[in-house]
Amino acid sequence: MKQQGAILWLTGLSGAGKTTIAQSVAQELLRRNYCVELLDGDVVRTHLSQGLGFSKPDRDINVRRIGFVANLLSRNGIIAIVAAISPYREIREELKQTTTNFKEIYVQASLAVCESRDVKGLYAKAKAGQIKNFTGISDPYEEPTNPDIICQTDRFTVEQCVNQVLHYLEYQGLLLNI
């Protein structure tokens, strides 16, 4: 199948549901025979951005690296799905300007809901001062001002959010209608 590449950039707080939605969208697109690559923020940090910390400059470098890889994939007809907190609006806006078919998906959930989903206890550690520069606690998360999609994971199911993303992509002409 000849397909158009795209970057689906899922941004939001830790625990909002970015990876869950990204994996489900990827599985559905693969089932439909689309070429897809999933770039998870935690995995990329381990391999591509090893050694970077969580200061603003390090986070910006990490997001730019993910954006560079996603753009390479997209230019070659792959749908690159990125699940990364990417807390700073300026860098996300920069990527919108320097990449092709960048679709910003804000995975939105309240801080309280994200904390309740936190099986690793990272929010509690951040509140206790054991983790510095933790997004949403001691470091800001700048919400997108004009995202292409808002997936409210504290109001809708994963399936509903995935369908929202797929219908948007169909409407934009990036997928053939089912």
Residues carrying an active site annotation? 86
Q: How many CB atoms lie within 10 A of CB 128?
A: 10
Say if residues 109 and 13 touch (Cβ distance below 8 Å): yes
- The CA angle 166-169-173, to the nearest 5 degrees, is 140
Q: Token pair of 126, please?
A: 């951040």
Which H helix or E strand runs over 154?
Answer: none
Q: What is the DSSP letter of 139?
A: B
Rounded CA separation 79/144 (Å)? 21
